[in-house]
Structure 1
């Protein structure tokens, strides 16, 4: 395999590729040993390992475990778990000095990857660059035969039970029953989420069987067709619907009228009920401006940071934030003591808040309002994606004065904005255009999409 192909698997906050093509067990094992070397340099001795429900996950889970113990670190190898439960387990277990989780999140079934965590459950940031450097320079330290780590196998049930007990005790619990429709999209969330919600609510499940081939279609609730979930919510006269991605770290919420509620609106509801004036919320450039506008009206401060759970978690820590929101439906609740994202807990707390309100979610949504948004993924080869963004940034900075380059390029216009940023997990460039009217948002999206497409063509033929 060419080194240029392998290089594409190293992303800003994880390792991710297509199994059997760019991502192979021997590569994951080697990366696992480098992770072990870093943990050992930090004085660590033991880490946890788990993964999602993909077909290739068991093979890669064992490969990563082999690499880690070969680096002289003990491994607690858990059966496959939802990612939030794994983070929680690392955070609560003082004997674990970090973790590795096999997943490709919302990507198609042929994809997989590995995410590394610190002992507080948050992810590697700069350390991912170090792993890449050591991989290509072959800077690996193998343990001697008598210093190889020990593998300790654990089932999923204890971790799941501990997580459910924790969630059942956080402040803001349901005061009445809701009818909730849950679509786990054949992802690993099917092991836990219906069970958790059934403790307090009446639950209808969709695609709850864990199946790594994702027969329901795409395991990405942000970009997939959720019409089935929306229709079931309407026909069942449910109060709320929730769709989770492959590893259950994204939760897209549907109101009682079958409308998809923007992540920013959920963030506003959470802030309004959990926070007080002066508290801080971290968000990413892809979030609609309505989040910042509404929070500032409440006296709540906002901090913008790069897209990606590791960057939001780091910014939340640095700013002592109480809440974090990504437009891709990742939610962070540091008000409960941890900085990693937890979409399962966020959706549970949102449902609890609805039981305390004397209004339906649809009425709350209408009262908060929204800006008109168009999201689109533009396919572009990973090999040229970053060159395209550099060229596009140069064009934009020459033409517009109010531009943010925290993550991609975000152009601020009067009553509108356009965000164009490279995906760190897929061979696409994401576009998000927002404005206060449908006509304006359509026109702006068309204009900047043409600019992006032209730039892709220029780079591809250069």
Structure 2
């Protein structure tokens, strides 16, 4: 029978819902049947399936597998692990044409969802809407798929560790690092990884626990980095890295406890890459600092600004052949020596290698970056019926005023002091904004310009707490 999926769970980049409210086993089963139908109609026959450490993930994984096999697709179960381990399985197994990870990523503990990949490409946007239409119509292939289990962790971790094979062990032996997996799905993989790496490693919260008892696994929130900052200070470590709940986003701090944000990590990776590939393209999202784009250009690279969203950045990299990309959220993508998907564990190893190749510590690399006045991401609720209309009204004002605007994803406006961004969230009924300037006085002027544009569209930005 047809099974219409709640429209709210089909997001722009993936599928997300609240377990027991907007997402349950019947939805997972229908998603499995619909995805299997897409796979078969594309000529495929086998899908890898993994899941994260949330309490609801085993139940959803079981129902998902039932749906996949009921539509005639064979399933390779890889078990509990980070999302990039699922991506690795899909990319490295020659007999697998697609993959699904059951994961709530960095969302609250009672949320869950699915990230999908088909023939090496993320399934998002219109493709997810097609999946929903197939479920609503019950337009499913039928069949009896087989199930097998494969061990992937050792091969995955081996590939991560191999990233440092070309570096003399003596250059790595003195490194002292901290790792905080926040009780997320990356914990066991990180334990196995550091056992293979030179240097001294201190681990936090690696046991998988879907209640996240120590802190929430979202490294974009500075509050979630305090344990790592304390560890780095107490043990006098060179730097520390932190992961989100499914291990596809990286956070980092230097030896002094300073946060290294996603665009700043991308600055380091771009400098490392451009030594080996002069003139290479680097893709970053519209939230990224102007310092990143200036840095890439100064190094002779080609910086491209693109729309926010891990699926969108990955797809753009495939379209253009860019070897490196990233976004503010800590999704980082390497396609020069790796597969092009977002893998925070690989990014952490790559950061180790970059410090050696560049001959500077993470702290020195962070310290060389310009000091700018920036806001965090500012988010405020808006009537969903007006979300896009507000952006359109602001854009119209700016065009009439002759402002310098990038309208790739919302509006990013260049001013004499810096820039401001206003865009509609693809996952919530929110407008999001960000601003950057050379100093605090300039930032105040940039924010005043943002507020004036919002007021012209009938919106008042709430005061910061």
TM-score norm. by structure 1 comes to 0.90
Structure 1: segments with no counterpart, 5+ residues: none
CA gap of 1:57–1:25, structure 2 versus 1, over 3 A, is: same
- Structure 1 residue 240: Cα displacement: 0.6
Task: Choose 427-436 or 24-33, whichever is displaced more.
Answer: 427-436
- Structure 1 residue 318: Cα displacement: 1.3
Task: Choose 353-362 or 269-278, whichever is displaced more.
Answer: 353-362
- Structure 1 residue 351: Cα displacement: 1.4
- Is contact 1:98-1:118 (8 Å) kept? yes
Query: What is the alpha-carbon distance in structure 2 between the residues aligned to residue 386 and residue 416 of structure 1?
Result: 31
Secondary structure of the structure 2 residue equivalent to 1:188: coil
**In the alignment, which residue of structure 2 is the partner of 1:179?**
176
- Is contact 1:290-1:370 (8 Å) kept? no
- Is contact 1:242-1:253 (8 Å) kept? yes
Query: What is the alpha-carbon distance in structure 1 between the residues aligned to residue 215 and residue 240 of structure 2?
Result: 18
Query: What is the alpha-carbon distance in structure 2 between the residues aligned to residue 115 and residue 166 of structure 1?
Result: 22
Query: What is the alpha-carbon distance in structure 2 between the residues aligned to residue 386 and residue 295 of structure 1?
Result: 39
- Is contact 1:194-1:203 (8 Å) kept? no
Query: What is the alpha-carbon distance in structure 1 between the residues aligned to residue 395 and residue 107 of structure 2?
Result: 30
- Is contact 1:264-1:325 (8 Å) kept? yes
Task: Choose 207-216 or 40-49, whichever is displaced more.
Answer: 207-216
Query: What is the alpha-carbon distance in structure 2 between the residues aligned to residue 331 and residue 140 of structure 1?
Result: 36
TM-score norm. by structure 2 comes to 0.90
**In the alignment, which residue of structure 2 is the partner of 1:355?**
356
- Structure 1 residue 283: Cα displacement: 1.1
CA gap of 1:450–1:313, structure 2 versus 1, over 3 A, is: same
Asked whether 1:219 is paired with 2:220, we answer no
Alignment of 1:186-335 (within 5 A): 186-199=183-196, 200-225=198-223, 226-275=225-274, 276-335=277-336
Task: Choose 344-353 or 194-203, whichever is displaced more.
Answer: 194-203
Secondary structure of the structure 2 residue equivalent to 1:180: strand
Task: Choose 224-233 or 52-61, whichever is displaced more.
Answer: 224-233
Q: Deviations over 1:149-174 (max 9, x none)?
A: 112133xxx31110122122236646
Query: What is the alpha-carbon distance in structure 2 between the residues aligned to residue 182 and residue 455 of structure 1?
Result: 45
**In the alignment, which residue of structure 2 is the partner of 1:141?**
140
Q: Deviations over 1:316-371 (max 9, x none)?
A: 11111110111111110000142211121111111122234543322221213243
Q: Deviations over 1:40-95 (max 9, x none)?
A: 00110010111111111111111111111111111112211111111011100011
Alignment of 1:28-47 (within 5 A): 28-47=28-47
Asked whether 1:98 is paired with 2:91, we answer no
CA gap of 1:62–1:455, structure 2 versus 1, over 3 A, is: farther
The alignment of Structure 1 onto Structure 2 pairs a total of residues equal to 448
- Structure 1 residue 391: Cα displacement: 1.7
Query: What is the alpha-carbon distance in structure 2 between the residues aligned to residue 224 and residue 421 of structure 1?
Result: 23
Secondary structure of the structure 1 residue equivalent to 2:386: helix
Asked whether 1:160 is paired with 2:153, we answer yes
Alignment RMSD: 2.5
- Is contact 2:397-2:453 (8 Å) kept? no
* Aligned partner of 2:163 among 170, 193, 218: 170
Q: Deviations over 1:89-122 (max 9, x none)?
A: 1100011010111112111101111111023264
